[in-house]
Amino acid sequence: MNTIDSDRLAQLELLFHSESIYDRKLALDELSQAPSDQVVPFLQRLTTSTDFLCRRFAVMGLGNHLTDQSFQVLTSMLEQEQDDNVISEIANTLFEFGDRSIPFLQNLFERNQNWLTRQTILAILMESDLPDILLNIINLALLDPTQTVKETAILALGSLLKSKYESEALDLLTELTDSEFWRDRCRAATTLSISSNPRAKPLLAKLQKDENHYVVAAALEAGLPK
C-alpha cells in the first residue's frame, strides 16, 4: 500500500465535500488502497463534518479498513450521529466487523425508531446466521407503528422457517393470518409460500378465501408450482 502525502490528503478532503457523488467515490477508492493507520484518523476527522454526505462517505470508507480503531470510531458515532441516513450506513458498515457488532446493532434497533435504520438492521440480520437474535428483533419489529418495518419483519420470518425456530415463526405467521390489516395478511401469505411445513398449507388455504383480493392473489400464487 502507498502512503498518501499531505497535499494529496487535502485534495481528497475537498473531494469528500464535492457536490459530485462520483468525486466522492473516487476519493473512497483511493483511500481504500492506502495504509489504515493513515486513513482511519483522516476519516475519523471527516465524521465530524457538518455535511451529512461527507460523514456518510467517511463511514463507508471506514468499512474498507476493518481495524479496532475503525470499529471504535463507528460505535462512538452511534452515540452522537443524528442523521438517519448516516446511522443506517453505520449499521451496514458495523456488520462488516462480524459478530462483535451484533450487540451494538441490537441496541440500536431497540432505541432507534427510524424506519430506515430498523429496516437496514432487519435486512442485515436476515443475511446472518443468528436466528435467535433475528427472532428477537422480528418480535420488536412486528410492534412497529411503521407498516413498512412490520412488513419487512413478516418477510424476515421466512429466514427462520429453515431454522430451529421454525415453530415460533409459524406461530407468529398464524397470528398474522388473522390480522385486521390486509397488508399483514398479504405478507404472511408470501412468507408461508416458502414453507414446506404441514402447518402452512391450511393457513394458505384460509388466505385463499380472504375478503381482500390482494391477499387472495398472494395466497393463490403461493400454491402455484415453482
pLDDT in tens, 53-112: 999 999 999 999 999 999 999 999 999 999 999 999 999 999 999 999 999 999 999 999
With beta carbons less than 8 A apart as the criterion, state whether 119 and 155 touch.
no
Distances in Å between the alpha carbon of 101 and those of 91, 107, 121? 9, 10, 11
Rounded to the nearest 10 degrees, what angle do helices 52-62 and 36-46 cross at? 160
Whole-model pTM: value is 0.88
The CATH number of the structural domain formed by 144-226 is 1.25.10.10
CATH of 1-112 given 3.10.180.10, 1.25.10.10, 3.60.15.10, 3.30.210.10: 1.25.10.10
Enumerate the domain spans of the chain: 1-112, 144-226
122 sits in the region (left: phi over 0; alpha: psi -120 to 50; else beta) called alpha
pLDDT in tens, 186-205: 999 999 999 999 999 999 99
